[in-house]
Structure 1
Amino acid sequence: MNLRNDPENRITVSTIATSKVISAPPTMRIYGAIETLTQWGFRRLPIVDPGTHRLKGIITARDVIDFLGGGELFNLINVKHSGNFLAAINESVSKIMKTEVRTLRPDASLNEALEIILKDRIGGIPVVDEDGVLTGIVTERDVLKILCRSHAAYHVEDVMTRSLLVQQPDCLLSTVTKVMTEHQFRRLPIVKNDVLFGIITATDIVRYIGTGRVFEKLVTGNVGEVMNIPVRDLLSGNLFTTDPDATITDAARAMMAKKVGALPVIEQSRLVGLVTEFDLVKAFDSGVNNR
């Protein structure tokens, strides 16, 4: 069943969105926002006016990667603060948040959420009422939970990404943030001699800052001390994988059970692809399971 095109589908955003949303004011320090993302295990944090609770912007894990050296937001550290990381992370989060935010109304349909996720490649969409007050947030995972209710005969090998951009364990964090930002990736496989060491994610990098581990590397406070560490030091111990013959329903359920956004695809002990929540949402939405 393709829920998007089903005329009987009455699913609205309010029925699947998370209503208890953690948010922050524009005056919060960048470090405080990163701590909040880490504490709750989120990839995005809505920024709201503390009095009215109206949405003012959003900061995502990708913005943090950009800020650390991946893109234009790095100018806050490199130019304004001459490379002083400690000074830059004490700036207000308003300096790096996105102010042009795609939103949905509570009565928006599942179809409208899918349009934004698939066309704009946005993993989380704030839900606001007619006054712009934040009432919830709907994510790829929320949508995937609905879409994977029907059995799918389609397999992981049919939807996974095969041409992967991989990095080696000794690659520096500064290189990883640049690659992630340039290619708009949330994660990169870490491989050496055809052996998968793990997956470095934007969340792993956010956690490195938000848990305070970053301060173990600081002597002068320069950003180079933060970024000149091998990426292997940031890999989490848990690595969940799937195989090419798994159905997309099995892959979706595994992602939700393990609370991960992607699964490396392993065949004969070798990495042959990567399947993400986005890949699965796209596959279920297109109705490929009915082919």
Structure 2
Amino acid sequence: MSDVADQEKLALQAIRAFLATKTCYDVLPVSFKLVMLDSTLSLKGALLTLLQNGVVSAPIWDSVQCQFTGLLTANDFVNALRFYENQPKLLDELNTLKLEDLSRVEEEIGATKIENYNVSPHLSLNEAYKYLIKARTHRVALVDEDPTSKRKIVVSVLTQYRLLRFVALNCKETQMMKTAIGDLGLGTYSNIVTTTMDTSLTEVVRQLSNIGVSALPVVDDQYRLLNMYEQFDVLGLVKANGHGDLRMTVGEALMRRPEDFPGVHTCRLTDTLSDIMEIVRRTRLLRLFVVDEEGKLKGIITLSDILRYICTV
């Protein structure tokens, strides 16, 4: 075994041992904001709340039953748009649909319902990771119990990004991970669904809902990566009855993006996890698009791919 492979193996062992000693509470920053949504809130009102607070998901709370009922994400809005797009006469209902009724809409189109995954914040990060992978979800609510009243309390939301950034910031061993990602086999390199600048948003929404992915790469006729269109972009359509803007093309929609859009992150097959973790330390990273020297799309690496490699023994 080469020195590079030996160092990578030692780094993985150290990171896994570190995660076994930490709990979900350790990932939470000293100061943070938690946005909670009442189950009787309208879908439009809820999504405006997400946009105003700059978050991509939020726990839903049933104030009558005093219990956590699920996590609202951009995927739920995509599903709702898909449902009403097939029934234009009912489109105005999208503005008044309550969160507590959203599961019915998603069930009618055969889509995944609102996620209600939750774990104790006292769970070790190793166990929390296993739960994320088993549930095939990007996030899980952290629900604790008040020692006096015994009532459940939503503490925060643990996301794959928070977990990966915690590793990047606290494990210097990530700097030892020098094996090229092409040799690690990280990511997906076949059957990648793409879109173009001329594709209608109606078609993109249908693809995002049907396939269950969080973003589609935008390519030209030479398969060069130009941009991406993600579920969070769809949230912008809620403004001013924006569902009518589904007639726009992807190119037109991207022109309306806010100026603070963080951009599209790319990498090469020769890059290493050490390089990727450095990006995670500096900026919010949800996925990487693998491109060649000509900028042509080769594959996609998700946070699930990275966490599965780092955390799985």
Q: Structures share a fold, TM > 0.5?
A: yes
Distance 2:293 2:37 in 1: 46
Q: Is the 8 A contact 1:170 1:231 kept in 2?
A: yes
Alignment deviations for residues 201-234 of structure 1 (CA, whole Å, 9 cap, x no partner) = 111111332xx2654xxxxxxx5x3322111223
Q: Which SS does the other structure have where 2:44 is aligned?
A: helix
| Residue-pair matches, total | 270
Runs of 4+ off more than 4 Å: 50-53, 97-100
Q: Is the 8 A contact 1:160 1:274 kept in 2?
A: yes
Q: Which residue of 1 aligns with 2:39?
A: 26
Match of 2:278 among 253, 264, 279: 253
Which amino acid counterpart does residue 120 of structure 2 have in structure 1? R
Q: Which residue of 1 aligns with 2:289?
A: 264
Which amino acid counterpart does residue 226 of structure 2 have in structure 1? F
Instruction: Return the TM-score normalized by structure 2.
Output: 0.77
Match of 2:203 among 170, 175, 182: 175
Which amino acid counterpart does residue 236 of structure 2 have in structure 1? R
Q: Is the 8 A contact 1:59 1:96 kept in 2?
A: no
Shift of residue 256, structure 1, vs aligned partner? 4.9
> Relative to 1, partners in 2 of residues 1:134 and 1:230: Cα closer, same or farther, differing over 3 Å?
same
Matched, 1:125 2:147: no
Q: Which residue of 1 aligns with 2:253?
A: 234
Matched, 1:160 2:187: yes
> Relative to 1, partners in 2 of residues 1:188 and 1:99: Cα closer, same or farther, differing over 3 Å?
closer
Which amino acid counterpart does residue 280 of structure 1 have in structure 2? I
Q: Is the 8 A contact 2:60 2:69 kept in 1?
A: yes
> Relative to 1, partners in 2 of residues 1:227 and 1:3: Cα closer, same or farther, differing over 3 Å?
farther
Q: Is the 8 A contact 2:20 2:126 kept in 1?
A: no
Distance 1:53 1:251 in 2: 41
Distance 2:19 2:248 in 1: 53
What CA RMSD, in Å, does the superposition of the two structures yield over aligned residues? 2.6
> Relative to 1, partners in 2 of residues 1:155 and 1:146: Cα closer, same or farther, differing over 3 Å?
farther
Shift of residue 100, structure 1, vs aligned partner? 5.9
Seq. identity, %? 20
> Relative to 1, partners in 2 of residues 1:61 and 1:282: Cα closer, same or farther, differing over 3 Å?
same
Instruction: Return the TM-score normalized by structure 1.
Output: 0.82
Q: Is the 8 A contact 1:147 1:281 kept in 2?
A: no
Alignment deviations for residues 59-117 of structure 1 (CA, whole Å, 9 cap, x no partner) = 11111111111xxxx16x755xx534333222222221556611111211112211122
Shift of residue 14, structure 1, vs aligned partner? 1.1
Q: Is the 8 A contact 2:179 2:272 kept in 1?
A: yes
Q: Is the 8 A contact 2:76 2:114 kept in 1?
A: no
Shift of residue 246, structure 1, vs aligned partner? 1.5
> Relative to 1, partners in 2 of residues 1:112 and 1:191: Cα closer, same or farther, differing over 3 Å?
same
1:32-43 aligned at under 5 Å gives the runs 32-43=45-56
Q: Which residue of 2 aligns with 1:280?
A: 306
Q: Is the 8 A contact 2:23 2:121 kept in 1?
A: yes
Matched, 1:63 2:76: yes
Q: Which residue of 2 aligns with 1:219?
A: none
- Greater relative CO, 1 or 2 (CA 8 Å, sep 6+): 1
Which amino acid counterpart does residue 233 of structure 2 have in structure 1? D
Q: Is the 8 A contact 2:16 2:310 kept in 1?
A: no
Shift of residue 199, structure 1, vs aligned partner? 0.8
Shift of residue 254, structure 1, vs aligned partner? 1.4
Shift of residue 162, structure 1, vs aligned partner? 1.2
Distance 2:224 2:114 in 1: 41
Which amino acid counterpart does residue 191 of structure 1 have in structure 2? V
Matched, 1:91 2:102: no
Distance 1:58 1:134 in 2: 11
> Relative to 1, partners in 2 of residues 1:213 and 1:274: Cα closer, same or farther, differing over 3 Å?
farther
Which amino acid counterpart does residue 92 of structure 1 have in structure 2? K
Alignment deviations for residues 186-211 of structure 1 (CA, whole Å, 9 cap, x no partner) = 011011122222011111111332xx
Match of 1:15 among 26, 37, 41: 26
Q: Which residue of 1 aligns with 2:216?
A: 188
